[in-house]
Structure 1
């Protein structure tokens, strides 16, 4: 008897639970609530998947700025395509040019003004000599980010720092003092690494910095590349290399053609001589 009563109560509880569920499902808010909950679960799953996927597939190049060198200083990406060549002075707006670059295609007056006189000899200026309007001292800064290739103490040039920016592309800074860098150091654009100084080869410039831009160790006019990216210099370098190659190929072809023409003329002369002396034996005159 007791068992039957318990079964009846279980059936009543089951019917009551089912009735409550059906009652809830009939509510107007039930289906929208189910949809919202399902969407939330789906969106959460997608976000978790993307986060885990990015963790394993992230491009290593994105972490370049997090790489540190042996001395625990952040390493510098040498060739920043967004940078442009700048005047290598902390107060560039107050800079004046003491002597310009010697341009072989310039007019006579410009070329004369670009000659450096030293020990009774005249030498073409291979860079730009910058100084302050008031002649005071100033900080020398990196024209573009790069790596210090060499640091030289030179009484004639007034010391020299060479910074490499790309293969064959460098900037040279001389007539400087209080140098704060050494070979192998990384420099950021605009970073101070020395102060303006003097040089024995150009004493008349006073306190200044001699600034050069070089490609394949050939000096080019820095004024033509100020406010331009390094890609402009690389493009001209590539174009010059192509022209030099084309010129060499053309010269080689012309030499070959001339040799062929000379050989043909010799052969024709020989045939004509043989025709004019049909009875002459080869080798006899």
Structure 2
């Protein structure tokens, strides 16, 4: 009885294997027949192309908001990582006017000096914006101040643009010696790339007070002696040109 059962089981397994093999053969034969159809290759090509186009479209849509250039524009290179202020400059001018003074340039007889690098104004023309970019390593950065220099490369006196309190005097390995003056109402002026600083933190200065001489900085070493001048309102960089009464 046991031998009969074993033979029967063996026979059943053989029949199952033959049936399975037959099905595989039929499947392979069916696929070969499908490949032999004239319409199969063009159809497969069209399906593949449609999938590729769809993937490209999705990828492009996802990356729509990414910059299209190979350079990276960052803000606040020289001594600041603040952002460009979004307020209306006229409103900001009204706030600073409460100090009772109109801001003046930090140099005497500004017409005697040249502007090496202007302030990066996002509303300016493409040519003007390009002129206000500086290279830092392998990237380009928006210039958040105005750089003044003597046409002959001489050192010159740096003056306080407004009356106020000296809130920072330090030596920065990148920006050189720098001074910050607070004028109230959240408005401060920043002076970098200095030498022979004559003020200290806590000093009260009047408009036009000589606070240092123009010097050099590592980030803009190619300029030689120059002054990097910034204006900030509530911690954000603003265009100094908007605060000078012309």
Matched, 1:120 2:163: no
C-alpha displacement of 1:226: 1.1
Please list every run of 5 or more consecutive structure 1 residues that lacks an aligned counterpart in the other structure. Answer: 1-77, 229-285
Q: 2:243 aligns with which of 225, 228, 235?
A: 225
Matched, 1:133 2:151: yes
Matched, 1:167 2:185: yes
C-alpha displacement of 1:211: 0.5
Q: Count the aligned residue pairs.
A: 151
User: 3-state DSSP class of the match of 2:128?
Assistant: helix
Q: How does 1:60-209 map to 2 (within 5 A)?
A: 81-209=99-227
Asked if the contact 2:99/2:184 (under 8 Å) is kept, the reply is: no
C-alpha displacement of 1:204: 2.4
C-alpha displacement of 1:87: 1.1
Higher percent of residues as helix: 1
C-alpha displacement of 1:81: 4.1
Asked if the contact 2:99/2:183 (under 8 Å) is kept, the reply is: no
Q: 1:213 aligns with which of 221, 227, 231?
A: 231
User: 3-state DSSP class of the match of 1:109?
Assistant: helix
| CA RMSD of superposed structures (Å) | 1.8
C-alpha displacement of 1:93: 3.1
C-alpha displacement of 1:163: 0.2
* Deviation beyond 3 Å, 4+ runs, structure 1: 78-82
Q: TM-score under structure 1 normalisation?
A: 0.50
CA-to-aligned-CA distance 1:97-144 (integer Å, 9 cap, x gap): 110000111121111110111222211000100111222110000011
Q: How far apart are the structure 2 equivalents of 1:195 and 1:96?
A: 16
Q: How far apart are the structure 2 equivalents of 1:147 and 1:113?
A: 33
C-alpha displacement of 1:149: 0.8
Q: How far apart are the structure 2 equivalents of 1:108 and 1:92?
A: 26
User: 3-state DSSP class of the match of 2:119?
Assistant: coil
Asked if the contact 2:161/2:208 (under 8 Å) is kept, the reply is: yes
C-alpha displacement of 1:82: 3.9
CA-to-aligned-CA distance 1:190-249 (integer Å, 9 cap, x gap): 110100011111122221111111001111111111127xxxxxxxxxxxxxxxxxxxxx
Higher percent of residues as strand: 2
Find the counterpart in structure 1 of residue 20 from structure 2: none
User: 3-state DSSP class of the match of 1:112?
Assistant: helix
User: 3-state DSSP class of the match of 1:175?
Assistant: strand
- Judged with a 3 Å threshold, the aligned counterparts in structure 2 of structure 1 residues 226 and 86 are, in CA distance, closer, same or farther, namely same
Q: TM-score under structure 2 normalisation?
A: 0.58
Q: How far apart are the structure 1 equivalents of 2:164 and 2:125?
A: 34
